[in-house]
Every structure is written in structure tokens, then in C-alpha cells.
Amino acid sequence: MSESERKVDQLRLLHETGPQTLMGKLLRKFWHPIALSEDVAAGKARPVRILSEDLTLYRGASGKPYLVGGRCAHRCTLLHTGWVQEEQIRCMYHGWRYDGAGLCTEIPAENRPRLTPIRIAAYPVHEYCGLVFAYLGGEPVPAFDLPRKHVLEQEGHTIIANKQIWDCNWFQQVENSLDAVHVSFAHVWGRVGRFGSSVTANIPELAYAETSAGVRQIATRSKDNVRVSDWTFPNNNHVVAPGPEKEDPWADISSWPVPIDDTHTLRLTLYAVKTTDPDKIASLKVKYDLGYSPMAHADELFQGIVEGVHEPGLISAQDYVAVRGQGAIYDRSQENLSTSDAGLAFLRRIFLRELDAIRNDRPTKQWSRLKEEPHLAPPPAAAVQAAE
Amino acid sequence: MSESERKVDQLRLLHETGPQTLMGKLLRKFWHPIALSEDVAAGKARPVRILSEDLTLYRGASGKPYLVGGRCAHRCTLLHTGWVQEEQIRCMYHGWRYDGAGLCTEIPAENRPRLTPIRIAAYPVHEYCGLVFAYLGGEPVPAFDLPRKHVLEQEGHTIIANKQIWDCNWFQQVENSLDAVHVSFAHVWGRVGRFGSSVTANIPELAYAETSAGVRQIATRSKDNVRVSDWTFPNNNHVVAPGPEKEDPWADISSWPVPIDDTHTLRLTLYAVKTTDPDKIASLKVKYDLGYSPMAHADELFQGIVEGVHEPGLISAQDYVAVRGQGAIYDRSQENLSTSDAGLAFLRRIFLRELDAIRNDRPTKQWSRLKEEPHLAPPPAAAVQAAE
Amino acid sequence: MSESERKVDQLRLLHETGPQTLMGKLLRKFWHPIALSEDVAAGKARPVRILSEDLTLYRGASGKPYLVGGRCAHRCTLLHTGWVQEEQIRCMYHGWRYDGAGLCTEIPAENRPRLTPIRIAAYPVHEYCGLVFAYLGGEPVPAFDLPRKHVLEQEGHTIIANKQIWDCNWFQQVENSLDAVHVSFAHVWGRVGRFGSSVTANIPELAYAETSAGVRQIATRSKDNVRVSDWTFPNNNHVVAPGPEKEDPWADISSWPVPIDDTHTLRLTLYAVKTTDPDKIASLKVKYDLGYSPMAHADELFQGIVEGVHEPGLISAQDYVAVRGQGAIYDRSQENLSTSDAGLAFLRRIFLRELDAIRNDRPTKQWSRLKEEPHLAPPPAAAVQAAE
């Protein structure tokens, strides 16, 4: 294998998410958000596909969520179509019942005890800020700490959660997070919103550093316009951005592109805004374009039309055109990187290092939540001014 | 090949329907319904796909139906788009004409006689009870006897025929017919209808026996609630069930899941009801949900919503969620059978025995219509009571 | 390889269009129309897929059209979503800019000069009669001459251009052009229009001859009804046909089925009509069914329903049913040719001869525009009469 073949081969590792792939194994060492809390009511179930695995998310009568295998072990019917009974779920086909740990607890028509218990997959879940997180890896289950943020837990703040599905690979979305230059172009595309106005004065100087939690990126546009952002391994981006309109507060935005499978991504985003006023919150929920789907508007967007959205929908649409425009799976063998792709290269080196550890059965890095919080500088004065 | 690999391999044989597969060859030894009689008017043609073969069904000026190849032998255009002329069909592209035996009887622009006649496929058809049946195998053509039922030919009864297409393999639908336990769960799913009420008191004791025509299954729920049903090889299920509403007669229901190809099934169903009153029949046709397609409502159904249907639509919807929920092709290598799957195991053994005969060029069983009719006991008293 | 395998293998060569295929290489030696001129306004860009290549067609501020690669060389985002600036195009993702020759002329965030310039694909374009033509081959670029026609450049005539996309291979459409017999059947299908009336009296005698430009076909239906048409290599059909209604002028119709890829074809058609009256032209544009898409009506058409179209839409619909009815890619190994397929056989021999030259690196024929013009006889008297 030539050097360039080796490189292409290595780049291919970056987008695979199935349970048997190196990246699939690496991602299974982390908690990932898998649904909005409001997506599943007490006593109800729904199917979720995460990391190329089909699963059933249900909430017991108590309100506690559970994540188990997608199909009944008996004749493989989709389990989410069954009945949630107390804290268990019963298959609609022949009534096999499972508890939240995946153990089959009843086989109605079975008249002989089984020698070995029947089990389906089951994974720990944890609710945080209106999202259901899950851990799909093996023992030991890490504490739910890395995804937490001080800014998401502040008094006097409200969290608004949003969900989108994109029809492309997750990793090109992660790369987009570490790519400060795109902001100056992609985010003035179609329509220049308040975010676009705040960042496009000039192209930033970029610097990157690995932290205990992931990567710190510093984009310097001028002495008064420095954007610092701490990105958390393996897929959490965190930025501050102006609100949809001038009178709206800036928001802390924390976003996770989570692989559904190799060509679909679940994007769960939290907006932390400093208000507890119910009217303000209701108005913000409208302006935050909850429910807007760039994928559903792909035909228009790829013709350059962005309509019917406020600021967050606009930003999503712009990133979608850039990133989905790379293809359902971006073919990195065709790219020509530039000095401005330093963040990307930095990020890939870290990922490839970790994948190499997985391949060779060596321990991966023990990522831990950043000590110093808030890890984002307050909005730079020049940016605030430009946006207002 | 290990024993478990061998088993997986064997299970795979059950779902294949192409002409070169063992099951495809076995199924071609039987008459199958392929369309509603009303689907093709005199002088008209339509495409049909059956057992992974594309064919043309047309009805001559005389009203007689014919089944020939899907494409013209000349330049392979779809033949159903041509003209039916008397008892023959002419291709719309260059006017080649074929009789109902597949022989090309005219080549308009040909100025030299051909040495060997041109032929396309042609298969015998037979109309019965509002369905067009076809025999896609080789000579000799079996008499049209096995599909007949005394209860479909009774004086004073009316036959209502219905058609559905399901986007999953036929064999998981056959297995469902031999699976009495699912009734107690799947048929109280979504909404409990009159059929659901009649069967769900408890889980039945099951017994199976091979007959001259197929498999007899006896489901005993109590001394007064015994459901006997004679299933006919290779794919005809026959049950009795309450009418859509209390005042409606019980019906004999005979249903064939016929492979379109490995992932699509044509389901043709006859309802025999004891009435000749035109008003009653018109009202029943509405209530029998003719034209309801569970596949077209799949999104709702898999969210647990069953709306806008009466009894037969409800039952179809429930079976669809159970059986389509197993996947487009049910992966039997993942299943865990239980003692209650005795019918399934019994059925598979018979099929595997017959497939083995095909593989080794030995004669398969000569299935013949049951001597004893009616082969279904009258509706059990307790069931009638529960449903009314 | 047996003789019949060799033949099947050879027939397969006829439908392939990718850059590495023999036919793909042959087709790249010719100018092909790739868009309507009106499809791309000054300062705008759009994606085009031609011969299995994804490209960007844009028109500079000056109005000049350019055809460059479909993706930015940097991170492979679709280039048509970018900004046209003067005569160049800038990627929306990171602002890389390209000129019309495919040279990258600016990399905004790059702080080191690159040793080797970045290039994307770029091809010559030429506008003619309301169509944008492109040449996707290597040097030397042939003069834009072969596609020109005297009848398209006449004083007192107006050209109406139309575009359709068909979901099937281009070559079965080319074969249809050299197939005079189909006219007598396919063009009386569904509804007999004025064109159908003019040709269906009887089946013509056929003769074919290779010319400097392509193939001349002569279809003799009677002494007074001789249709001569000069087809131009590799894919331009030219016929005369009655206008949509009795009062409308006959039109010269020049049509190119251009491969988008192996299963999709761009059909660009010019209608030259003898009028300069704006009202007449406006009325003709309505009657020429511009924008009618047989593909969008495929379900109806394959049920034999042709509605809501005038003459040209009807003719398209008839050809679509015949040709799309052969399959997305017509499997020639299943065909049975007849003496009436002489044109087809003649055409294939020429193509296979040229493909053989490509394979063996020998020069292909230097096709040149016909000397004698008009190369179409005026509409035969009997045909005019029949249509009127």
C-alpha cells in the first residue's frame, strides 16, 4: 500500500460508526444525547437509531427513561410498537416482556422454564437539560460529567432544546465546528443575519490547543474581536451567538451532531438564555425556529433560497448547504487542505491517535470536563457592536 | 459449515421466490391468485409481478383472461401498454402480436418468414370467486382443485374479494397464519375490535397435524372456545371471524399472501358472507375496508395510530405492524423460538422437507383438497358471545 | 468467451457514458447541448450532470457562460451554491475563487503561496439557438460546426427550445431515432395526433446510408410519401412534423438525447418555425408543451392515459412509453431483431466501429456537417394532406 493509499484508508476511518468499526468503538466510550426529553412521554415508547444501532427508548409509568434493543428477542418485531407497563415493555406480537435492563421477564405462552434467561440490549440513560443521553459502550459506565457545562446550569437561565436530522455523515459536521474560517463565508450566504454581521469583518488568525476536555480554538479577528471556544471530545460544539433579534439576549449554544448511521446525523442543540420570563421564553421558542429542518428544504436551499427562518434556522441552513454540499459522506481523498485548515488537521490527528489506541487495544485518553469555567469568554465587544 | 451456519443457511431458503430458487420452484407447482377479476376489464391489459417474474395479464374481447410475458420479444417494451385485439395482444412499439399462449402471430414490418417461431412466456389462468389464479410451473398443469372450498361455493352466500400489497416477504405472513398465540396480543393492539374480543380471554393450547391439504391447527382456549382451522399448502389461510359490526354475519375468510418478489406480497382475500341482499352487500363492502392499505399508513401505524378503519382493516393493520415490524425480510437467524412456536416449527419442517425433495429431484407431496368439508368448525359459542 | 457472450459484451458498450468507458471517450469528442440558455441568468450558477460528470454551469456578469467542476477543490462543497463575481465563481464554504478556466485565483485564508496552482475541471462552452453546448473532451477542441443546421439559421424563422429529462439510458433513445417502423405504431398510441395521422397509412420501405455527418434514412410509404431524414452522429435527430394544430406551420425539429448518466437523459429539442409574429410565437410556445415531463406522468402513461398535452407532448409521451418501457437500461441480450431493424443494426455497426477505434487507439471518423442543405426534403405532399 502506497503512502497516499494509506492516507485515504485512514481518512475512511473517520466516518464509520457501526459497532464493529474503530470509530464506532471509540464513540461508544462517551455519553451521547439521543432524543429530546419531550419526545417520549411517560408510558410511551419510540424507536431510536444511534451509531447504526436500532433501539427502543421508552419511559416507564414513573417517568424514568430506558433504552433497550430495537426488536423483541422472540420473533424480532419492533419493540417500540408494544405496550409500556409500569417500568417494563411488552412486545405487541406475542407479549414477551422486558425490563429496563433488557431482561425478558415474562413469556406468556411458554410452558417450560428456559434454562438461560433471554436478554436484549440495554444501555444506561441520563436526562440533562431537556435531553436524554445514553451510553452505548461496555463497563465501566463513565460518570455523567463530560457533557455538563456550568453555563447550562446557571440560575436565572432557561434552556431551549432543539432537534434536527441531517442526511449526511456526522464527522464533516464535527470538522465544521473546528473550522473558524467558514464563518466568514458560509454565514453570510443566502442572507446575512445577526451572527453573520458579528463575525465577517475579516478572516481570523487561528490557534488550537488540546485541553482535558477536547480542543480550544481561538479565532482572532482584531484585538477586540477574539472568539474563544472550547470544543468537547468527541462531538460537542459550544459557541456564543447573538439572539434572533436585537432585543433578544445572546445565547450559549451547545450542539451535538450524533451519528444515527453513516449517512444520517441527529443534531441536538441547547440554547441557554438569560431570562425566566415566560412571555420572553415563549417568544424566543418561536424565534429559535424549533422544528425547522434544513433537510426538508434541501431543494430550495441548494438553489440559494433561504426563507421563513429567523437566526438559528438561518445558521443551520448555511451550515447545511456547506456540509451536506460535501456529499452524504464527504470523500476526503479529493480534498486540498490549506493553512487555514489547521483546526481540522489538529482535530483529525487527535481522532486518529485515539483510533490507533483502539486498534492496538491501548487505553484511550481519559477526557475530563474543563476545570476553568466559563470556558467561553464573554461575547467580544466589537462583535456585540457589529451585531447590534 | 457448522451446524448453526447450516441452520441459518436453511432458514434463508424459506423466503426466496425467484424462478431459480428452491422455494421458487416449489411454489411454481401450485395455482396462485394473482389479481382481482375486476382489476382487468375485457380488452384491457395490466402488468403483474408474481414470484419475481414480470408478466402481462390481459382479458380478450371475449372476456377470457390470459397471462403472458411482461415484455415484447422484439425490443423488450412492456407489453401491457399495447393493444388487446380480439384474444391477442399487440405491442405498442412495433406492433408485434401475441396470442394467449405466448406465440408471436404477426410481425408487421417483417418481410421474411422466420425459421423458428417467436414465443414469450405464457401461463394457464383460472377465475374463481372473483380472483384470477395462475399456474406458473411446468407441465403437467394440475387441476384447479386445491384452492377450492365448499364454503366459497355455497348457495345463499356472497363473496367479497379484497386486495392489499405489503412491503415485506410472504413467508413471515405464512408463519403468522400458523401462529395462534399472536392473536391474543397483536389483535388487541391499537384498538380492540370484535375479533380481538372474541379471542383474547386466555392463551390457547395448540395442536397441529398434517392433512392431505396442508396443516390443521386447533387452538383450545376453553372447552367452549376451540378454534380449528385448516391451512392449505403452500399459502392459504382460512378462518372464521365476526363481521365488522354486531348485526353483520360472521364470515369465512380465505386469504393468500402471494409473493410479488422477495420483499413485496400480494394479499388476496375472500370473505364469504351469508346474504344475498344487495343493500346488505353494499353496506358490507364499505365496512370491509376494501382498498385500505396498511402499507400506505405505515408511518401512523408504527406510531401506534389506527384510524379510519372497521374490523377487517383493523385486523390487517395489526398483522401488518407485527409482521412488517419483523423487517422487509425477517432475519430468522436472530430469533428465539419458544414452545408456543410449535406451529411455526411444524410448518417449517414441512416446507424444508418439500424443498429438500426439490433439491434432490425427488417427487414432492401431492397435496389434495380436504375430503371432509366444512373443514372449519362453526364459530365457537363462547367466541360468538364474547364478540356480541 | 463464446460468440454469443462476446455479442452481449459488445452490446453492453453501447450504453455506458462514464469518463473511463469507451463510449464515454467517444462521446467526449463531440459538442453536446447541456442546458437551455435561459436556465442560467447572468451572475448565476447551477449544477449540471452530463456524461456522468458533475459540473457547475455559471454565467459571468458579462453574460458569458462557463462550465467548471461541480465541487470546490478545497473541501469539495458544491460550487454552484457559491457566488458569481464578475467572470469568476467563489465557493460559499471558505471563499476559494475560480475563473472560467478552472484555475483557483484566490484562497482567502491562505497565508503561504502554493507551489502548484489549484485547478478544477473546465470545459469550453458555446451558445447556439438558445442552447448552451459544451465540449467535455481533450485538446484540440473541434470547431463548433457539426451541430449547426441551415434550417436553424434562416431569416424569418423563430427557434423554440425545450428541455425534458427521461429516466432511462440515452442509447435506446438514439436507436428510436433510426427506427422508422415504430412511428406507425407508437405514434398512434394513446391518442392519434396530427403527426400520427401523417405517417400511419402503411409501413415504410427503409433505406440507410452513411453520410459525412451521420446516417441518412429514407422511409418510403408511397411514391408521394417519402420521409428523408439526416441523423447526425452521435445523437442528433432531425425531422419535420406538422404543428400542434391545423393552422400552425410545420416545424423543423432537432433533438439531442444527451446522457446525464447511464440511467438519465437530458433531451434538448429545437423547433424552427416560419414566423416572427410575436402573438403567433407566444401561442406556439403554449402549444409546444414546454415544460411537459413524460417522466412526471409515468404512472398515468403506463396505464395508457395521455392527457393535457398538445402535439409535441403527445409525441414525447408516446416515445417515452416505448423507450422507457424497455427499462432504465434496455437489456439488448434479450432482444429479437427483425428485418425492419435495419436502421438500428446499421447504427450499431457504426458505433461499434468507432468504439473499436477508441479501444485500439486508432483515429475515429472525422464527422463533418453535410454539404447539401437543406438535408431534409420538404414535407411530402401526401403527409401534409393526411395531417390536414
Q: What is the pLDDT of residue C203?
A: 74
Provide, as residue numbers in chain A, all residues whose Cβ is less than 8 Å from the Cβ of B302: 47, 78, 80-81
What is the grid cell recorded at A357? 489506541
- Of all residues in chain C, the one with the smallest CA distance to A336 is C74
* A93–B186 C-beta distance less than 8 A: yes
pLDDT level of residue B199 (50, 70, 90 thresholds): low
Contact predicate C158/C249, CB 8 Å: no
pLDDT of B358 higher than 50: yes
Asked, as a colleague might, if the bond just before C278 is cis with ω within 30 of 0, I would say no
Contact predicate A191/A306, CB 8 Å: yes
Residue with grid cell 415504430, as numbered in its chain: C182
Q: Looking at residues A84-109, what average pLDDT do you find?
A: 96
Q: What is the pLDDT of residue A37?
A: 98
Say how far residue B297 (Cα) sits from the centre of its chain. 21
The string of pLDDT tens digits covering residues A149-206 is 999 999 999 999 999 999 999 999 999 999 988 988 999 998 888 777 776 557 778 8
To test the contact with chain C by mutation, choose from A332, A336, A341 the residue with the greatest count of C C-beta atoms within 10 A, namely: A336
- Of all residues in chain C, the one with the smallest CA distance to B116 is C336
- Determine which helix (DSSP H) or strand (DSSP E) holds A23, and give its type and residue range: helix A22-27
Exposed (0-12), middle (13-18) or buried (19+): which is C78, by Cβ within 10 Å?
buried
- Cα–Cα dist A251/A240, whole Å: 6
Q: What is the pLDDT of residue A53?
A: 97
Say which residues have a Cβ less than 8 Å from residue C10's Cβ, sequence separation at least 6: C352
Give the residue with greater pLDDT, C62 vs C194: C62
Phi and psi angles of residue B185, each rounded to the nearest 5 degrees, phi first: -115, -60
B118 touches chain C (CB under 8 A): yes
Q: What is the pLDDT of residue C246?
A: 84
pTM: 0.93
| Average pLDDT of the residues of chain C | 91
pLDDT of B337 higher than 80: yes
Q: Looking at residues B374-388, what average pLDDT do you find?
A: 49
**Closest CA relative to residue C226, chosen from C376, C84, C123:** C376
Q: What is the pLDDT of residue A375?
A: 44
- Cα–Cα dist B201/B244, whole Å: 20
* B74–C337 C-beta distance less than 8 A: yes
Rg of chain B, C-alpha, whole Å = 22
* B94–C182 C-beta distance less than 8 A: yes
- Lowest pLDDT segment from B188-197, C5-14, C78-87, C133-142: B188-197
- Cα–Cα dist C318/C295, whole Å: 12
Sign of CA dihedral C123, C128, C129, C130: positive
Most confident of A189-193, A285-289, A326-330: A326-330
- Cα–Cα dist B58/C364, whole Å: 48
Contact predicate A181/A203, CB 8 Å: yes
Residues in chain B: 388
The three-state (H, E, C) secondary structure of chain B, written as one string: CCHHHHHHHHHHHHHCCCCCCHHHHHHCCCEEEEEEHHHCCCCCEEEEEECCEEEEEEECCCCCEEEEECECCCCCCEHHHCEEECCEEECCCCCCEECCCCEEEECCCCCCCCCCCCECCEECEEEECCEEEEECCCCCCCCCCCCCCHHHCCCCCEEEEEEEEECCCHHHHHHHHCCHHHHHHHCCCCCCCHHHHHHCCCCCEEEEEECCCEEEEEEEEECCEEEEEEEECCCEEEEEECCCCCCCCCEEEEEEEEEEECCEEEEEEEEEECCCCHHHHHHHHHHCCCCCCCHHHHHHHCCCCCCCCCHHHHHHHHHHHHHHCCCCCCCHHHCCCCHHHHHHHHHHHHHHHHHHHHHCCCCCCCCCCCCCCCCCCCCCHHHHHHHC
Q: What is the pLDDT of residue C143?
A: 97
Q: What is the pLDDT of residue C199?
A: 65
- Lowest pLDDT segment from B2-6, C29-33, C332-336: B2-6
* A330–C92 C-beta distance less than 8 A: no
- Cα–Cα dist A92/C291, whole Å: 49
What is the grid cell recorded at C201? 397509412
- Cα–Cα dist B170/A102, whole Å: 30
- Cα–Cα dist A9/B280, whole Å: 70
Other CB atoms within 10 A of residue B141 CB: 12
Q: What is the pLDDT of residue B374?
A: 46
C362 touches chain A (CB under 8 A): no
For B110, the closest of C189, C326, C339 (CB atoms) is C339
Q: What is the pLDDT of residue C305?
A: 94
- Cα–Cα dist B260/A116, whole Å: 39
Other CB atoms within 10 A of residue A89 CB: 25
* A78–B185 C-beta distance less than 8 A: no
H helical segments located in chain C: 3-12, 22-27, 170-177, 183-186, 194-199, 278-287, 298-301, 311-324, 342-359, 381-387
For B92, the closest of C321, C330, C334 (CB atoms) is C321
Q: What percent of chain C has pLDDT over 70?
A: 94
Q: What is the pLDDT of residue A201?
A: 54
Any idea of the CA torsion for A222, A223, A225, A227, to the nearest 10 degrees? 100
The string of pLDDT tens digits covering residues C166-208 is 999 999 999 999 998 898 899 999 888 877 777 655 777 889 9
Chain B closest-CA separation from residue A251 CA (Å): 35
ipTM: 0.93
Q: Looking at residues C74-83, what average pLDDT do you find?
A: 98
Q: What percent of chain A has pLDDT over 70?
A: 94
Q: What angle do CA A143, A144, A150 make, to 5 degrees?
A: 125
Tell me the C-alpha to C-alpha distance, in Å, between residue C276 and each of A211, A346, C259.
Answer: 74, 65, 33
- Cα–Cα dist B347/B353, whole Å: 10
- Lowest pLDDT segment from C99-103, C261-265, C281-285: C281-285
Q: What percent of chain A has pLDDT over 90?
A: 74
- Cα–Cα dist B256/B173, whole Å: 9
Other CB atoms within 10 A of residue C175 CB: 24
Per-position DSSP letters for C30-63, written without gaps between them:
SEEEEEEGGGS-TT-EEEEEETTEEEEEEE-TTS
pLDDT of B244 higher than 90: no
Which amino acid, B137? G
Q: What is the pLDDT of residue B375?
A: 44
pLDDT of C227 higher than 80: no
Q: What is the pLDDT of residue A374?
A: 46
Provide, as residue numbers in chain C, all residues whose Cβ is less than 8 Å from the Cβ of B92: 185-186, 189, 321-322, 325
DSSP state of C297: G
B91 touches chain C (CB under 8 A): yes
Residue with grid cell 428523408, as numbered in its chain: C228
pLDDT of B141 higher than 60: yes
pLDDT level of residue C95 (50, 70, 90 thresholds): very high
pLDDT of B373 higher than 60: no
Subunits with at least 3 CB pairs below 8 A relative to chain B?
A, C
pLDDT level of residue A379 (50, 70, 90 thresholds): low
Q: What is the pLDDT of residue B387?
A: 45
Q: What is the pLDDT of residue C310?
A: 86
Instruction: State the angle between helix axes of A170-177 and A342-359 in degrees (0 to 180), rounded to the nearest 10.
Output: 130
The edge-to-edge listing of strands for the beta sheet with B125-128 is B31-36, B131-135, B125-128
Contact predicate B135/B31, CB 8 Å: yes
**Closest CA relative to residue B312, chosen from B254, B382, B369:** B254
- Of all residues in chain A, the one with the smallest CA distance to C106 is A338
Provide, as residue numbers in chain A, all residues whose Cβ is less than 8 Å from the Cβ of C93: 182, 185-186, 322, 325
- C123 three-class SS: strand
pLDDT level of residue A388 (50, 70, 90 thresholds): very low
Phi and psi angles of residue B109, each rounded to the nearest 5 degrees, phi first: -95, 10
Q: What is the pLDDT of residue C247?
A: 86
